[in-house]
Amino acid sequence: MNAGMLWFDNDPKTALTAKIERAVDYYRHKYGRDPNLCLIHPSMLPADQKMEDPASDGGAGEKPKIGKIMVRPYRPVLPGHLWIGIEDKH
């Protein structure tokens, strides 16, 4: 994803799923398209979904999904932020 929308939500009481769903709804309303990728800081993944190499972007291992949104850990995204958009097709 080269372009996307940055969403900030650092409320510790809100589940990651709810944060992503709110960001998806806003993205859909603002841009008129459905996003399919959400990049988050690796520390935001629930403990049972942590990957061995959270810095990877597309490495081996099962990626968590929320609805149709692929959720990938990506270190450059700051904790509390979601980078949401449409995955580039190569």
For 31-70, the three-class secondary structure string (H helix, E strand, C coil) is: HCCCCCEEEECHHHCCHHHCCCCCCCCCCCCCCCEECCEE
Dihedrals phi, psi of 87, to nearest 5 degrees: -65, 135
In a domain, 12, yes or no: yes
pLDDT for 46 equals: 80
In a domain, 77, yes or no: yes
List residues bridging with 39 in a β-sheet.
Answer: 72, 83
In a domain, 90, yes or no: no
Paired sense of beta strands 37-40 and 69-73, if any = parallel
89 or 22, greater pLDDT:
22
> Which residues are CB-contacts of 16 (< 8 A; sequence separation ≥ 6)?
40, 44, 45, 46, 66, 71
Q: How many domains does the chain have?
A: 1
The share of the chain scoring above pLDDT 90, in percent, equals: 67
pLDDT digits (tens, 9 = 90+) for 51-88: 544 444 444 455 678 888 999 999 999 999 999 999 98
In a domain, 48, yes or no: yes
In a domain, 16, yes or no: yes
In a domain, 44, yes or no: yes
pLDDT for 84 equals: 97
- Note down the domain range covering 41: 4-85
